[in-house]
C-alpha cells in the first residue's frame, strides 16, 4: 500500500511542476539522468513565471503532466517494491489532482499576492513535497 501512496503523492508533485518530480526521484536513485531533469526543472521554474506561458491545463501541459505522473508513479512504486502499472495509475491520478488543484490554488494566489510570488510559492511547495516524498 505504501508504494502506491508514494506514487500518488509524487504524481501530485508532477501535476504542480512537470520536471520536479522526476528530477527528485532520479536524484534519489543517483542516476546521471537526474542532471537532465534538474536542468529541465530549472527551465520550467523560469518559464512558468512568464506571463506568455500557456496554462498547465491546456493540452501540452496536461499531456506532459500525465506522462510525468505515470513515469514517477511507476518509478517510485517499483523502487519501494510495489507494482509498476498500479503505481503509474496512482501517479496519473495524483498528477491530475495536482494539476487542477494547483491551477485553482495559483489563481487564488495570483489574486492575493500577484503572479510572480504565486509562481515562486508553487515552486517552493513542489520542491519541498518532492524532497519529502523521495526521502521516505
Note the pLDDT tens digit of each residue in 27-71.
999 989 999 999 999 999 999 888 888 888 888 889 999 999 999
Does 1 score more than 80 pLDDT?
no
Residue pair 115/49 in contact (Cβ under 8 Å)? The answer is yes
- Give the pLDDT mean for 104-118: 94
For residue 53, what pLDDT is reported? 83
For residue 106, what pLDDT is reported? 93
Residues 6+ apart with CB under 8 A from 132: none
Q: CA 129 to CA 95: how far, in whole Å?
A: 13
Using a pLDDT cut of 70, give the percent of the chain over it: 99
For residue 62, what pLDDT is reported? 92
Q: What is the DSSP letter of 50?
A: S
**26 or 83, higher pLDDT:** 26
Amino acid at each position: 500500500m505504501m508504494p502506491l501512496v508514494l506514487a500518488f503523492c509524487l504524481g501530485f508533485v508532477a501535476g504542480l511542476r512537470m520536471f520536479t518530480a522526476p528530477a527528485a526521484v532520479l536524484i534519489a536513485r543517483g542516476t546521471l539522468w537526474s542532471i537532465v531533469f534538474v536542468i529541465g526543472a530549472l527551465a520550467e521554474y523560469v518559464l512558468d513565471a512568464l506571463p506568455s506561458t500557456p496554462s498547465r491545463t491546456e493540452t501540452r501541459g496536461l499531456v506532459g503532466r500525465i506522462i510525468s505522473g505515470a513515469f514517477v508513479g511507476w518509478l517510485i512504486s517499483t523502487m519501494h517494491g510495489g507494482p509498476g502499472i498500479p503505481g503509474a495509475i496512482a501517479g496519473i491520478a495524483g498528477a491530475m489532482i495536482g494539476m487542477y488543484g494547483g491551477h485553482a490554488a495559483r489563481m487564488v494566489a495570483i489574486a492575493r499576492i500577484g503572479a510572480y510570488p504565486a509562481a515562486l510559492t508553487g515552486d517552493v511547495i513542489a520542491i519541498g513535497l518532492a524532497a519529502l516524498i523521495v526521502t521516505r
